[in-house]
Amino acid sequence: MSIETRGVLHGWQAPLCVVITGPSAAGKSTLAAAVQEHAREPLLRFGVDELYRMVPGQWAGGVANARFAERGFTYQDVPCMPGARRINNGVDAIAMLRAMNAGIVGILSAGVGVIVDGQAFEPVVNTDLEGRLLDLRARGLARVAFIELSVTDEPLADRQRRRSHPVGLSLHQNSLPKRATKPDLVVETSGMSAAEVAAFVCRWLEEEYLEV
């Protein structure tokens, strides 16, 4: 039975998609795990980190002498920000990121919820996903929540230093335009613990989106 068919059945509830955005080290993965644990419906986790784990080494960022690095994902220095780096997405990387978007929509189209744990800092790809999800929302085929985690530079830099994640990404990402055009919820996390952020977001989702 297709999602379109189920959508007209009495009592059927569209699958939930929670998109969590923010710079590296903002707390997206911790929040995603908390929302998965809190929800009373299954939410499969998919985002750029999951995608990166699927990327062949010859296209992957940080792999020495990768033959197809220019077509894939590469780390590049940011000249105007000493010590900062960015991820450059080549032509094959863009195709893989678009495939991630299609995968997210495919999961929802199968009637299963998704929590999107971060997106790429690539406007064309983010606009593509946002458009796909807003279309599903408008047709009543998915409940979609865009949540943006905001954090100021000082605590962000401190969080980045305490992580094993590749250094230098956070502050540059924090200077870029936000990925969701009109997020449904913005949470300033600078003065909050991970547990406080999770409790706040889960309460909001409970009120607005989650099954009770």
CA dist 189 and 191 (Å) reads: 6
Between residues 93 and 10, which one has the greater pLDDT? 93
Average pLDDT over residues 121-128: 90
pLDDT at 163: 62
Q: What strands lie across the sheet with 143-150, from one edge to the other?
A: 43-46, 113-117, 16-21, 143-150, 185-188
Per-residue pLDDT for 123 more than 80?
A: yes
Interval 174-197 mean pLDDT? 83
Question: What is the arithmetic mean of pLDDT over 147-172?
Answer: 70
- Asked whether residue 8 carries a pLDDT value surpassing 80, the answer given is no
- Residue 3's pLDDT band (boundaries 50, 70, 90)? very low
Is 133 within 8 Å of 113 (Cβ atoms)? no
Q: Which domains are delineated in the chain?
A: 14-207 (3.40.50.300)
Cα–Cα dist 145/205, whole Å: 8
pLDDT confidence of 120, banded at 50, 70, 90?
A: confident
The amino acid at residue 105 is V
Categorize the per-residue pLDDT at 154 as very low, low, confident or very high, splitting at 50, 70 and 90.
confident
Q: Which of 36, 5, 17, 4 is nearest to 209 (CA)?
A: 17
Comparison of pLDDT for 159 and 37, the residue scoring more: 37
Evaluate if residue 106 carries a pLDDT over 90: yes
Could you tell me the pLDDT band of residue 6, with boundaries at 50, 70 and 90? Answer: very low
pTM of the model: 0.85
pLDDT over 90 (residue 176): no
Statement: residue 54 has pLDDT above 60: yes
| pLDDT at residue number 86 | 85
For residue 212, the model assigns a pLDDT of 42
The yes-or-no verdict on residue 202 having pLDDT over 50 is: yes
